[in-house]
Amino acid sequence: MSDAVPILKIGSTLLVSIQVDLQDDTALQLQEDLAERITRTGARGVVIDISGLEIVDSFIGRMLASVAAISRVLDAQTVVVGMRPAVAITMVELGLSLGGVRTALDVERGLAMLAPAHESAESVLLAAAAERESR
């Protein structure tokens, strides 16, 4: 068993940056850890940065799709970011489409993709506060 992949929490988003060559048991552990952290923290979004991954084979691809599906059931959105071009080409040729997984080019865009829901919630609260003040 290799070391677990750390999960960071930023506001209501969990951020995972995979920086090691993932072995299968570590990938499964990450999947379980994320599900547990989503329920414990009530996170609404998960960003998985795979810019450090030199390959995404069928096992890792399935893990990413599973995390997206599990988080959806737990009322959170997952965005996979940072896929290298060579990895994307290889994955498609392998036959992996990552159907149902949202992607973005980098962490910044991934976070932005998750932001609108929070922003609109925030703007609703601000508008409500402004209304109270004007009374």
Find the shortest distance in angstroms from Cβ 88 to other proteins.
10
Among 59, 69, 100, 119, binds other proteins (CB under 8 A): 59
Lookup result for tokens 């209501």: 12
Stretch near other proteins under the rule CB under 8 A, chosen from 17-25, 33-41, 67-75, 104-112: 17-25
Cα torsion angle, 82, 9, 43, 109, sign: negative
Helix (H) or strand (E) holding 103: strand 102-104
In this structure, what token pair is assigned to residue 88? 């994307």
- The answer to whether 61 and 55 have CB atoms below 8 angstroms apart is no
| Contact string 61-100 vs other proteins (x = CB under 8 A) | xx---------------------xxxx-xxx-xxxx----
Nearer Cβ to other proteins (76/91)? 91
